[in-house]
Amino acid sequence: MLAGMKRHEPSRTAFLVTLLRALADRQWRSPEAAQKYQEIQDLLRREIPKGDPGLIVERALSLLLEKVEKAKFAATTEAKSSRVIRPGADRAAGGAPSRDIPSEVQRAVWRRDGGRCAFVGRNGHRCEERTFLEFHHVVPYALGGLATVENISLRCRRHNQYENELVFGPRGASEVREHGPWAAGQATSRPASPRSS
């Protein structure tokens, strides 16, 4: 299971190693968790005869990931068209743009960006953040940017705010957004600010 992991994911590898050690040592947070694990191990004896904790965890994580993706991005095996909630306001027949980012676009962007902030500083380093991610309009919606795979990318909260300030100017007290290894340079090219014309 760990052999298939990418080299740049040490925190995930460490998490799985810790989890597998806890399983091997039978360290559970509650008696209910121990009971659930034993039930799963028993139910999977035909597929996993030796009850290998690594295989059980791998299968469990795959199912949990599928469930979370379904809840977060309306992931599905069959593509469905987005439903119009307010006819004439959301997506009119004439193609009026909507601020809503369709689920299929969210799924495609998440996979393309690898579930990681896609901000790249001028020195070429990409942000490593994988939590509290937001969908970012490269060309802002307010400036006519559409909710397409080409115009949407993932940003951590700090970099989404930072790029918003590059286009629209600061709102109130601002803090430096160029943090981390990419901070030596400045941000990659961004849309021109409407104030600069």
Q: Residues 12-64: pLDDT tens digits?
A: 667 666 766 666 666 667 788 878 888 888 888 888 888 887 888 888 888 88
Q: Tell me the CA end-to-end span of the chain in Å, nearest whole number.
A: 55
Reply yes or no on whether the pLDDT at 84 is more than 60.
no
Q: Please give the average per-residue pLDDT across 160-178, as a whole number.
A: 75
Is 57 part of any domain?
yes
Please give the tally of structural domains in the chain: 2
Q: Does the structure show a pLDDT above 50 at 127?
A: yes
Pairwise CA distance, residues 188 & 119, whole Å: 8
* 61 lies in the same domain as 110: no
Q: Which residues make Cβ contacts (< 8 Å) with residue 43, sequence separation at least 6?
A: none
Does any domain span residue 146?
yes
Q: Note whether residue 87 is domain-resident.
A: no
Q: Comparing 92 with 29, which gets the higher pLDDT?
A: 29
Residue 60: inside a domain, yes or no?
A: yes
Residue 89 above 70 pLDDT?
Answer: no
Tell me if 4 is assigned to some domain. Answer: no
The answer to whether residue 7 sits within a structural domain is no
Expressed as residue numbers, the domain containing 66 is: 12-73
Residue 180: inside a domain: yes
Sign of the C-alpha dihedral computed for residues 114, 116, 119 and 124 taken in this order: negative
Q: Are 107 and 64 in a shared domain?
A: no
Average pLDDT, the chain: 75
The tokens for 190 are 């961004």
In a domain, 46, yes or no: yes
Taking 50 as the threshold, does the pLDDT of residue 189 lie above it?
A: no
CA 18 vs. chain centroid, Å, equals 23
Pairwise CA distance, residues 36 & 31, whole Å: 9
Q: Whole-model pTM?
A: 0.54
Q: Is residue 120 domain-shared with residue 66, that is, in the same domain?
A: no
Looking at residue 93, its pLDDT comes to 45
Are 115 and 183 found together in one domain? yes
- Same structural domain for residues 180 and 108? yes
Residue at which a domain ends, from 54, 73, 92: 73
